[in-house]
Amino acid sequence: MAAPGTTGDEGGRQPGPTENIDSILTEERRFEPPASFSAGAHVKSLAEYQALRDAAERDPVAFWAGLARDELHWHRPFTSAFDDSRAPYYAWFGDGLLNVSFNCLDRHLAKNADKTAILFEGEPGDTRRISYAELHRRVCRFANALKMRGIGLGDRVIIYMPMVPEAVVAMLACARIGAIHSVVFGGFSSGSLRNRIEDASARTVITADGGHRGGKVIELKAACDTALSEGCKSVETVFVLRRAGNHVRMQHGRDLWWDEAESNLADECEPVWVDGEHPLFLLYTSGSTGKPKGIQHASAGYLVVVAATMKWVFDIRDSDIFWCTADIGWVTGHSYVAYGPLACGATVLMYEGAPTVPDAGRFWSICARHHVTIFYTAPTAIRALMKLGESFPARYDLSSLRLLGTVGEPINPEAWMWFHRVIGHERCPIVDTWWQTETGAIMIAPLPGAITTKPGSCTRPLPGIDADIVDANGHSIADFAQGGELVIRKPWPSMLRAVWGDDRRYRDTYWGKFDGRCYIAGDTAHRDHDGYFWILGRSDDVLKVSGHRLGTMEIESALVAHPRVAEAAVVGKPDETKGESIFAFVVPRGARPTGDAAGTLSAELRAWVAQQIGPIAKPDHIRYADSLPKTRSGKIMRRLLRDIARGEAITQDTSTLENEEIVRQLQGEP
């Protein structure tokens, strides 16, 4: 059965929602906010939540404008809060002037200069505490270094760095001078880096010699050299942070060591006041086509909602040690490692490495040693650590924790319960937060002092967020058992503003389907009789592998770029730990390999995809066939391939296949 709300043809992903609905409809457990938590929370009760929602519904623009005035420092106040004259290219707070780095740093100095802004732990075990005063100095100095190399308002800067405080310094330094940063995840290959540099026409790359991850040194500068050797003519300067101490090549005139570039520069740098709509950053993410899209966020609207959600969802307080485990290369790292916590003057913990170095107790050891109070991570990490048993968390004192959170993919009730019992000691509320690179900030999540949680549900939309579930005609689905397309009906300040360089793709992808009447998230979901949202999965050709978003087309393009591959089709296969694993069906050039030859080619193709995109995109399974199953109109029958990958009985009509033998090959029969 095709998911309601999807087209029902062979193109969409159709996660087959019925199976999920059955399992979650039987989920009867409820967890009320602990009274002691509610008492001290920013939003203390369902009634307070409802009052905020009502206010936002009565007058959304006034609601957001009020927050924008309360949450941010304005150099010049805005007079126009919202402009929909160019819908769906909406604008918020467009004529106000502000600076994001000023909001994250300077305004805290009077009261909190000595407060720790970033508490850092490297994978090898080194630790650092950086106060707000020091972070301010470091951002100013580095902003001055960028200026020395001619970087200014509107220039694009690529940041390709390990999870170290300097990654945040680099982001804020860009924001200080109005440059637009685009962080590229350090796990992406030189090829992915090059594509992003070229798409953004970046003038500068900020990188490091290397970073520590999984007991190895990830050679970022070397990858950067490879990317720059094959194009990227726009790049004039490469800043290189010394982190791992590995040997790197420095190109005279182009490459500068970070420390040398900023030596002798001033500790002060006047912020450049930009208008509310000035682009703060681009972040590339996968979509249904082969080419990642540069999601563009605006300065003011983005910061308002990340700051508000720090209070609503994370209930942030002055005394908290907030730890979000996401890498700075993903939107979660932008919103809840860098901008959200710093906008609130909070202390944020940053960890450089893998969760299993030196052993599976690392996360819990960090929580215990640094007295982490709020811990935010991905379901995939929870499931992986859950598999390794309770003895690791049992070794550490986790009593400082008061709130837990998850993001990136649906969390199965079993993992939720484990998180609740073994990590939260049945004391900490869990916030399951639904949002996307495009939404900038959390959209659907419980307010921990106000909303009763249910394992596996992200519960209810935040104040001001008009989320709905609709059928193929865009009509709201009333029947709670029926799944549909997740949409947001009204614009909100932290929404994406554009796909970099592709206005059409922005309009078509996000507003195309229902005559521009609502934002289309690309997820399927359903709602229960309490109005709680349950996310079922993607409705497009996007996979969520360990919480990371990967386009099937992107992986297919990488595969067909290999000389031994004629054709390839990639689908997702449910995976207990990773959520989805990557299953590739490959039509080789020349004879179809079997036995050892197939094993050898598969190893080569996996390494190839790792090199083309990054290790996260490596297919977990590869199967060879003489051709791929196609419809009469020539479309690959993805649904059939999904059934085969799952080892499920084929319910589809395969009579149109030119060669039925192919199905047996695809099923892996010799």
Segment interacting with ligand WT7, rule: CB under 6 A, options 389-397, 408-416, 559-567, 650-658: 408-416
Q: How far is CA 403 from CA 64, 312, 315, in A?
A: 26, 12, 9
274 versus 444: smaller Cβ distance to ligand WT7:
444
Q: Which of 262, 352, 466, 523 binds ligand WT7 (CB under 6 A)?
A: 523
Q: Which of 544, 573, 578, 606 binds ligand WT7 (CB under 6 A)?
A: 544
Segment interacting with ligand WT7, rule: CB under 6 A, options 75-83, 239-247, 404-412, 467-475: 404-412
DSSP 3-state assignment of 334? Answer: helix
225 versus 409: smaller Cβ distance to ligand WT7:
409
436 versus 552: smaller Cβ distance to ligand WT7:
436
- Output the DSSP codes for 264-332: T--S--PPPPEETTSEEEEEEE--SSSS-EEEEEEHHHHHHHHHHHHHHTT---TT-EEEE---TTSHH
**Long-range contacts for 68-71 (Cβ within 8 Å, ≥24 apart)?**
68/92, 68/93, 68/96, 68/300, 68/301, 68/304, 68/493, 71/303, 71/304, 71/307, 71/308, 71/343
Segment interacting with ligand WT7, rule: CB under 6 A, options 196-204, 431-439, 464-472, 569-577: 431-439
Q: Which of 458, 498, 586, 641 binds ligand WT7 (CB under 6 A)?
A: 458
94 versus 287: smaller Cβ distance to ligand WT7:
287
454 versus 544: smaller Cβ distance to ligand WT7:
544
In contact, 584 and 622? CB cutoff 8 Å:
yes
Position of minimal CB gap to ligand WT7 = 437
Site for ligand WT7 (CB under 6 A): how many residues? 21
Smallest distance from the beta carbon of 584 to ligand WT7, in angstroms? 21
Smallest distance from the beta carbon of 535 to ligand WT7, in angstroms? 4
- How many CA atoms does the CB half-sphere of 572 hold within 13 Å? 28
Burial of 344-369, coded b for 16+ CB within 10 Å and e otherwise, reads bbbbbbbbbbebbbeebbbbbbbbbe
Q: Which residue in this structure is represented by tokens 């521009």?
A: 516
User: 180-183 and 279-285 as β-strands: parallel, antiparallel, unpaired?
Assistant: parallel
Q: Which of 522, 588, 614, 619 binds ligand WT7 (CB under 6 A)?
A: 522
- Binding positions for ligand WT7, 379-398, rule CB under 6 A: none
41 versus 488: smaller Cβ distance to ligand WT7:
488
Q: In what order do the strands lie in the sheet with 484-488?
A: 467-470, 484-488, 519-527, 533-538
Query: Does residue 328 belong to the site contacting ligand WT7 (CB under 6 A)?
Result: no
**Phi and psi torsions of 607, nearest 5°:** -65, -35
Query: Does residue 549 belong to the site contacting ligand WT7 (CB under 6 A)?
Result: yes
Q: Which of 135, 173, 175, 331 binds ligand WT7 (CB under 6 A)?
A: 331
Smallest distance from the beta carbon of 449 to ligand WT7, in angstroms? 19
Burial of 98-135, coded b for 16+ CB within 10 Å and e otherwise, reads bbbbbbbbbebeeebeebbbbbbbbbeeeeeebbbbbb
Query: Does residue 373 belong to the site contacting ligand WT7 (CB under 6 A)?
Result: no
Tokens of residue 219, six digits: 């050679």
10 versus 580: smaller Cβ distance to ligand WT7:
580
| Contacts (Cβ under 8 Å, ≥6 apart) of 667 | 644
181 versus 549: smaller Cβ distance to ligand WT7:
549
Smallest distance from the beta carbon of 113 to ligand WT7, in angstroms? 32
Query: Does residue 435 belong to the site contacting ligand WT7 (CB under 6 A)?
Result: yes
Query: Does residue 351 belong to the site contacting ligand WT7 (CB under 6 A)?
Result: no
For residues 66 and 75, what is the distance between their CA atoms, to the nearest angstrom? 16
**Phi and psi torsions of 638, nearest 5°:** -65, -35
Q: How far is CA 267 from CA 100, 144, 338, in A?
A: 18, 9, 21
Query: Does residue 408 belong to the site contacting ligand WT7 (CB under 6 A)?
Result: yes
Query: Does residue 324 belong to the site contacting ligand WT7 (CB under 6 A)?
Result: no
Q: Dmax of the chain from CA atoms?
A: 74
Query: Does residue 509 belong to the site contacting ligand WT7 (CB under 6 A)?
Result: no
Query: Does residue 434 belong to the site contacting ligand WT7 (CB under 6 A)?
Result: yes
Q: Which of 332, 380, 539, 552 binds ligand WT7 (CB under 6 A)?
A: 332
Query: Does residue 437 belong to the site contacting ligand WT7 (CB under 6 A)?
Result: yes
Contacting residues toward ligand WT7, per CB under 6 A = 285, 331-332, 407-410, 432-437, 458, 521-523, 535, 538, 544, 549
